Structure 1
Amino acid sequence: MARLLSQAGEVELRIAINPFTASEDKDFCRHQVATLVERLHALPYRVCIVMVGRSEKIRQLGLDMALYIADSTINSAVEVIRSCDLVITPDTSIVHIARAFDKPMVAVYNKRKLKNTGLPGYHIWAPGYDKAKQIVCEEANVADVAIESVWPVIKEQADRLVAARS
C-alpha cells in the first residue's frame, strides 16, 4: 500500500473513492466519478485519490488522475481505507470498514427498501458516527444524482480535514 500511495508524491489529503456496490441502482456512474476526481484535484491543496472496488470495473472508468490496485480484494480495500483520510462511497460494506477505522466519510444512499424486510436501507445501514456524513438522494438510482448535490458535503469534509492539520 505504501508503494501505491508513494506514486502520488507529497499530498495533504488521501481520499478513497468506492464508486460501485452490489446493486446497480446504488452505483455512481462514470461521469459522476470523473467529475468528482476533477473537482478534488482542483482544490487548493494536493490530494491523492485511490479507487476502491473490483479492478475490472475500476479500470473501465479510465481515470488517469486516480490510483487503483490492479488485483483488488476486500483485504486491499481495507488497507486503502485504513491508509486514507477520507472515504466516499455508496456501498455499505465500505461504510462499515470506514466506521471500524473511525474514518471521515461521505456515504451516498438512495431510498430503496431492503428486499427481505421492506425497511429503508439508508436507515438500517447508516454510518451512525460523527465523522460520517450521509446523503440520501431522492433519485431511484444514485447514478442520476447531480454531482452538485453531493459536492458541497464532500468539499466540506475535505476542507475540514486539511484545516485541522494547519
Structure 2
Amino acid sequence: MIRKLNRIFQDYMREKRLKFGRYIWDRKKKKEEIIEGNFIEKNSINSILFLRYDGKIGDMVINTIMFREIKRQYPNIKIGVIARGAAKEIIKNNPYIDKIYNYEKNSKKIKELSKEISKEKYDLLIDFSEMLRVNQMLLINLCKARYNMGLNREDWKLFDKSYSFPEGEFHIVEVYKKVLEEIGIKKPNLDYDLHFTEKEKQDVEVLLNKFKGQEIFVLNPFAASKHRDFNREKIQGIIDIILKKENRIVFLIGEKKRGEEIENIIKKYSENVFFAKLGSIMETAFLIKKADFIITPDTSIVHIAAAFKKKMIAIYREDLDIEVKNKNLWSPNYDEAIQVFSRDLDVKKGEEPNINKFKLKEIDKIINN
C-alpha cells in the first residue's frame, strides 16, 4: 500500500515538475522562418545535432541509418551526437559523425555542455524523445540551434519543426525514414551501420580461432528488465537444444556483473559452452557478426544482429497491450530472424508478465530443423 501511494505521489509530482519546467524553458529567443522545399538546402543547414541522451543501445544502432544517409548526400554537413553510456560505444568508430558529446544527468553538467555546444552554432537540432523531461528542455533551450525539431511538438514554442509517428502499425525504422524525408533525404537506405576498430576485430578473432569449422551460437539470456531475463531452467534448456547436434559452440554474453551467474550456469557443461568475456559492446557486436545464430530477449542485441542480418530467435512477451505493440515496433524486421512469444496466462493485473513462459519445443523446432 505504501509503495502504491508513493508511486501515485511521484507521478503527481512529476506532472507538476514537467509543467513548471515547460513554463520556464519552452521558449526561443529567435524563431526563424522555414523556407519550404528541401529543408537542408532551402534553409542552409550546414550542421545537425542529434540528441540521444537516453543511453539506449538499440536506438543508437537504428540511428546510424541517419548519420550515413545524411553524409552520403551532403558530405560537408557537420554531424554531432549527444549520447551517454554504452550507446556512445556504438558510434565511437562511426566515420559519418564529426563530434560526440557526453551527456550526464546533472543540471550543472548539462548547462556546461549546452554552453559548449551553443558556441558551435548548430543549424538543426533533432530530438527523439516522446516525453521531454525538465533537464532535456533546459538542454535544448540552451544549445541555441537555429532550428529545433522534435516528435509531436506542434504546440511548443521551443520547437520550429515537428514530426509524427506513421499511422497504424509500423516498425521503428519508419520513424527515422520519415525524419530523413522531412529534412530532404529521399529514398534512404534503411540498413543499420556499425564500424569496428582493428583491435576489436582481433580480440574476437583470437577468441574464435580455435573453433574454426564449428557452428557458433550466441545466447544472450538477459535484458534491461529482470522480467525479461531468462531463468536458469530456460538458459540450460536452450543450451541443451543447441548441443543436440555436433560441432556447435555456445557463447553466453552478458554484463560483467552477471559473470558469476553465467559461470555457475555453464559449470554443468564440460565443453562447447563458454562465457564470452569481452571488453566492450562493440566486441560483443563483432562476435554477433561472426556468429552463425543468435538467441536473445533483448532488443539491443536484436538490432545489433539485424545490422548483419544474422539468423536469430528473438523472444518477446505477448501479454500486455504495450508488448503487443513492441513486437511490431521493435521487431527484428528481416527474414532471417524469427520471433518467438512468451504468453504468461497467470499474470495478475498490475504485474509484469514473465518472459520464461515460451516453449522450448518451439526453440528446438527452429534450431534443429
TM over 0.5: yes
Of 40, 46, 52 in structure 1, the residue corresponding to residue 247 of structure 2 is: 46
Of 208, 226, 232 in structure 2, the residue corresponding to residue 24 of structure 1 is: 226
- Report how far residue 71 of structure 1 moved: 4.5
Q: Helix, strand or coil: the match of 2:327?
A: helix
Of 104, 108, 111 in structure 1, the residue corresponding to residue 311 of structure 2 is: 104
Of 68, 73, 96 in structure 1, the residue corresponding to residue 280 of structure 2 is: 73
Query: 1:86·1:104 contact (CA, 8 Å) conserved in 2?
Result: yes
Answer with 33-42 or 19-28: which moved more: 33-42
- Give CA deviations for 1:103-143 in whole Å, capped at 9, x if unaligned: 111100002454xxx86212211111110001122122112
Residue of structure 1 equivalent to 2:329: 124
Q: Helix, strand or coil: the match of 1:59?
A: helix
Query: 1:53·1:77 contact (CA, 8 Å) conserved in 2?
Result: no
| In structure 1, distance between residues paired with 2:249 and 2:243 | 8
- Give CA deviations for 1:57-78 in whole Å, capped at 9, x if unaligned: 1431321442223254211210
| In structure 2, distance between residues paired with 1:100 and 1:146 | 27
| In structure 2, distance between residues paired with 1:153 and 1:25 | 24
Q: Which amino acid aligns with 2:295?
A: I
Residue of structure 2 equivalent to 1:159: none
Q: Which amino acid aligns with 1:48?
A: I
Relative to the length of structure 2, the TM-score reads 0.38
| Unpaired stretches in structure 2, ≥5 consecutive residues | 1-203, 345-352
| Unpaired stretches in structure 1, ≥5 consecutive residues | 157-166
Q: Helix, strand or coil: the match of 1:106?
A: strand
Q: Helix, strand or coil: the match of 1:42?
A: coil
Query: 2:313·2:339 contact (CA, 8 Å) conserved in 1?
Result: yes
Residue of structure 2 equivalent to 1:90: 297
Q: 1:149 to 1:119 in 2, by over 3 A?
A: closer
- Report how far residue 30 of structure 1 moved: 1.3
2:207 equivalent to 1:4: yes
| In structure 1, distance between residues paired with 2:239 and 2:225 | 22
Q: Which amino acid aligns with 2:316?
A: Y
Relative to the length of structure 1, the TM-score reads 0.80
Q: 1:58 to 1:151 in 2, by over 3 A?
A: farther
Query: 1:26·1:142 contact (CA, 8 Å) conserved in 2?
Result: yes
Query: 2:218·2:251 contact (CA, 8 Å) conserved in 1?
Result: yes
Residue of structure 1 equivalent to 2:342: 137
Q: 1:113 to 1:57 in 2, by over 3 A?
A: farther
Q: 1:119 to 1:143 in 2, by over 3 A?
A: closer
Q: 1:106 to 1:100 in 2, by over 3 A?
A: same
| In structure 2, distance between residues paired with 1:110 and 1:72 | 30
Query: 2:341·2:358 contact (CA, 8 Å) conserved in 1?
Result: no
| In structure 2, distance between residues paired with 1:42 and 1:57 | 26
Identity of aligned residues (%): 26
Q: Helix, strand or coil: the match of 1:120?
A: helix
Aligned-CA RMSD value: 2.0
Larger Rg: 2
| In structure 2, distance between residues paired with 1:25 and 1:142 | 6
Query: 1:52·1:80 contact (CA, 8 Å) conserved in 2?
Result: no
| In structure 2, distance between residues paired with 1:58 and 1:78 | 18
- Give CA deviations for 1:130-162 in whole Å, capped at 9, x if unaligned: 100011221221123342233212323xxxxxx
